[in-house]
Amino acid sequence: MVAVDGSAVSDKAVHEAVWLAGCQAGKFKNKLFAVFVKADRVRDYDDLFVKGVSAESEIDDRWHKIIDDAFLVIRKLAAEKEISLETIVVEGAPAASINHLVHERDIDLLVIGSTGKGAVKRAFLGSVSAELIEHASCGVYLVRA
C-alpha cells in the first residue's frame, strides 16, 4: 500500500511502491493499493482551493480534481508495469485512516513519503509518517524527500 497526496514526495513514494510491487511479479501476484485521505482538517488543502469558492458543487468538483491528480502518476506507472492497482479514498485523520486500512486489508508493506521536517516543527504539527512508523501493524518503507 502507498499513501498518495499528489505532492512531489508522494510521487517519489509511488515510484518506489511500483518498483517494489514489480520486483517479484514473476513469482507472486502482487496487488498495489493506493490510498488518498481527505483529511478532517480542510485547511491542509487550502492552497489547492480557489479563494471564494463556496458552492457545494464547486467544492465537490475541486475535490474530484485533487483526487484524480493524486492518483495520476500511480495509475500510469502501475499500468506500464502491469501491476494490479486498487485506488482507495477515505476521509478522516490521515495516520489513523491509513493504519485502519493496513489492518483491514492485511497489508504486508506500507510505503509513505516524508518531507523530513525537523523535530520542532513535527512536535507542533505532528507527523503522519512518524505516527505510522510507530503504530502500523506491517513494515513501513519510508521515502525521504
What phi, psi does 65 have (nearest 5°)? -65, -45
pLDDT of 44 reads 52
Q: How many domains does the chain have?
A: 1
Q: Which of 10, 28, 68 is nearest to 20 (CA)?
A: 28
Quote the domain boundaries for residue 121. 2-144
Closest to 74 measured CA to CA, from 141, 138, 144, 7 = 7
pLDDT digits (tens, 9 = 90+) for 5-60: 988 999 999 999 999 998 866 666 789 999 999 875 555 555 555 555 566 777 78
Give the CA distances from residue 11 to residues 5, 50, 73, 100, 121, in Å, rounded to whole numbers and listed in that order: 8, 23, 7, 22, 23
Which CATH number is 19's domain given?
3.40.50.620
Write down the pTM of the prediction.
0.83
